[in-house]
């Protein structure tokens, strides 16, 4: 099979993750070219991974007929526009989350992609995590019966800077958006209504920036199930990423991943590893697997496993969350669009 030539737009943290995954672990694909608004170290990065082409701008990349697909890993505010341009240029698009902070623009991406007849996958990598994907399999196999309740624990090891919090669109669009998608994925349903119980306990600067850092988020799914997410911007013991699904016949519960399975026992305590520190450690396998599936979807003309609609749904829930927090009441997703 012809190798898929991929161009990466944006060589920051997540762009590098994909560059490394594709180079080493994705069959039938290579990173042919790369581009970034920051030129520093870009050529060296390309050399390190044997990337042939370094483009001055993403527009140059989109003009290159050798490029089959692009990964949009640039800053959030450029995701939608670049995705639209890429689709119009006939490139398949893998777009990091969130696609945009407004539903209108996300819809525009969806529409353009459809029109252009290219693939679109949104970077909800956690769906590919070995633990969470296994819970989904167990549910699909009927192992827990009819799904009744989804519980997601999602806590970052340490808070972002207040500056970052301010421009990120807030915790729901920046952090919880992954959990919203996970909730829908596990529940197998869109969300009907949301209620947010949140406050600022971790860093007063986050509160001054108008955001919260500790939240309990309630979900009513369209299929009748209930859901709850608890978030914190700080967990002293490290990145806490757990999912529990309860059904009529049982439950499936994912514990955290750890570096080792070693227990140390001494006069003080019985000690095991803390969770893997943060998303680069915890979710590396999922970043690789989402890319393998993206390449597979493009090359074999399959549906992408995460779609523009998934991206849109997560945004809508996040906006409803903001509204619920502001107005102190449950908000239906239908109130947003």
In terms of Cβ atoms closer than 10 Å to its own Cβ (0-12, 13-18, 19+), residue 266 is: exposed
> Given the rule CB under 8 A, which of 4-12, 77-85, 170-178, 199-207 is the region that contacts its own copies?
199-207
Residues within window 270-329 making contact with its own copies, judged by CB under 8 A: 270-274, 328-329
Cβ distance 11 to 284 under 8 Å?
Answer: no
Among 47, 199, 204, 302, which residue sits at the site for its own copies (rule: CB under 8 A)? 199
Tell me if 36 sits within 8 A of 42, measured CB to CB: yes
Out of 65, 248, 300, 301, name the contact with its own copies by CB under 8 A: 248
Positions in 96-155 near its own copies (CB under 8 A): 130-131, 134-135, 138, 143-146, 148-149, 151, 153, 155
Rounded Cα distance between 194 and 315, Å, is 13
Distance CA 90, CA 67 (A): 10
How far apart are the C-alpha atoms of 270 and 322, rounded to whole Å? 42
Q: Beta strand 250-254 with 240-247: parallel, antiparallel or unpaired? A: antiparallel
Instruction: Tell me the three state secondary structure of residue 235.
Output: coil
Region from 36-44, 52-60, 258-266, 294-302 binding its own copies, contact rule CB under 8 A? 258-266
Q: Which stretch binds its own copies (CB under 8 A): 39-47, 109-117, 255-263, 297-305?
A: 255-263
Distance of closest approach, residue 50 Cβ to its own copies, in angstroms: 11
| Residue 56 DSSP one-character state | S
CB of 102 to its own copies, least distance (A): 27
Please list, in sequence order, all residues whose beta carbon lies within 8 angstroms of the beta carbon of residue 111, skipping any fewer than 6 positions away.
Answer: none
Give the residue with the Cβ less far from its own copies, 96 or 296: 296
218 binds its own copies (CB under 8 A): yes
CB of 104 to its own copies, least distance (A): 29
State the nearest-atom distance from the C-beta of 223 to its own copies, in Å: 11
């Amino acid at each position: 099979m012809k190798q898929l030539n991929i161009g990466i737009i944006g060589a920051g943290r997540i762009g590098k993750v994909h560059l490394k995954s594709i180079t080493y672990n994705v069959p039938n694909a290579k990173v042919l070219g790369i581009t970034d608004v920051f030129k520093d170290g870009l050529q060296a990065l390309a050399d390190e991974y044997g990337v042939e082409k370094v483009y001055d701008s993403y527009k140059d990349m989109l003009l290159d007929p050798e490029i089959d697909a692009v990964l949009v890993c640039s800053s959030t505010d450029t995701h939608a526009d670049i995705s639209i341009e890429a689709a119009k240029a006939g490139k398949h698009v893998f777009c990091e989350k969130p696609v945009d902070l407004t539903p209108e623009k996300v819809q525009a991406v969806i529409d353009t992609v459809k029109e252009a007849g290219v693939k679109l996958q949104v970077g909800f990598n956690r769906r590919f995590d070995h633990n969470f994907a296994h819970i989904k399999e167990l549910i699909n196999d009927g192992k827990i019966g009819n799904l009744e309740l989804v519980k997601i624990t999602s806590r970052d090891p340490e808070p972002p800077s207040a500056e970052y919090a301010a421009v990120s669109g807030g915790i729901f669009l920046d952090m919880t958006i992954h959990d919203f998608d996970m909730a829908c994925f596990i529940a197998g349903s869109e969300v009907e209504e949301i209620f947010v119980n949140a406050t600022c306990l971790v860093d007063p600067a986050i509160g001054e920036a108008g955001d919260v850092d500790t939240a309990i988020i309630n979900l009513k799914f369209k299929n009748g199930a209930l859901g709850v997410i608890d978030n914190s911007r700080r967990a002293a013991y490290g990145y806490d990423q757990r999912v529990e699904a309860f059904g009529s016949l049982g439950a499936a519960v994912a514990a955290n991943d750890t570096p080792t399975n070693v227990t140390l026992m001494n006069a003080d305590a019985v000690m095991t590893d803390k969770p893997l520190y943060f998303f680069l450690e915890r979710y590396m396998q999922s970043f690789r697997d989402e890319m393998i599936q993206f390449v597979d979807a493009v090359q074999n003309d399959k549906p992408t496993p995460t779609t523009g609609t998934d991206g849109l749904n997560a945004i809508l829930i996040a906006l409803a969350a903001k509204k619920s927090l502001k107005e102190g009441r449950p908000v239906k997703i239908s109130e947003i669009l």
